[in-house]
Structure 1
Amino acid sequence: MPDTLRYVTGEEIFTGDRVRFHGHAAQIDFAAAEMSDPEHSCFVRLYGGGVMVNDPAGSGHTFIPVDQLKNYEDLEFVARS
């Protein structure tokens, strides 16, 4: 099981979080961290986990693997829904 998924600033990442991504309003579609989640376990198996960001004004859907989250300073937590 991967470590807890966290933003660069330390907050835990949850499905539904409102975020800013590359300066655009966006949302976390899902946070894949558990093999017991049948809908997203393939992301845990393939990448060790990660998050899917939905940025409709910019890049659309972007998957960020857990080992690259630390490089995404432009993924900023805004609010929990």
Structure 2
Amino acid sequence: MSTAQAIANWVRQADRDASLRSDGATAIEREGLIRLRRESQRLRQERDILSKAAAWFARESKANTTTPSLVCLSTTGSR
């Protein structure tokens, strides 16, 4: 990109930020979009982790309920 093009881009962005143009996002809107995209990515990661954890706990729970219990109960009642 040439220096002249860079300056023209900066001027257009400054005009958008000053509400003189409406052909694109302002700097604040772009920053907000970046923040929302990061938050969305973090939430997707958290959802995936929780989904995997839930599946693991479900498997463990199922495995533990099918295993016979080794707890012996005394019928003599010694106290």
TM over 0.5: no
Q: TM-score range by the shorter chain?
A: under 0.3
More strand by share: 1
- TM-score scaled to structure 1, two decimals? 0.22
- TM-score scaled to structure 2, two decimals? 0.22
More helix by share: 2
Instruction: Report the structure number with the largest CA radius of gyration.
Output: 2
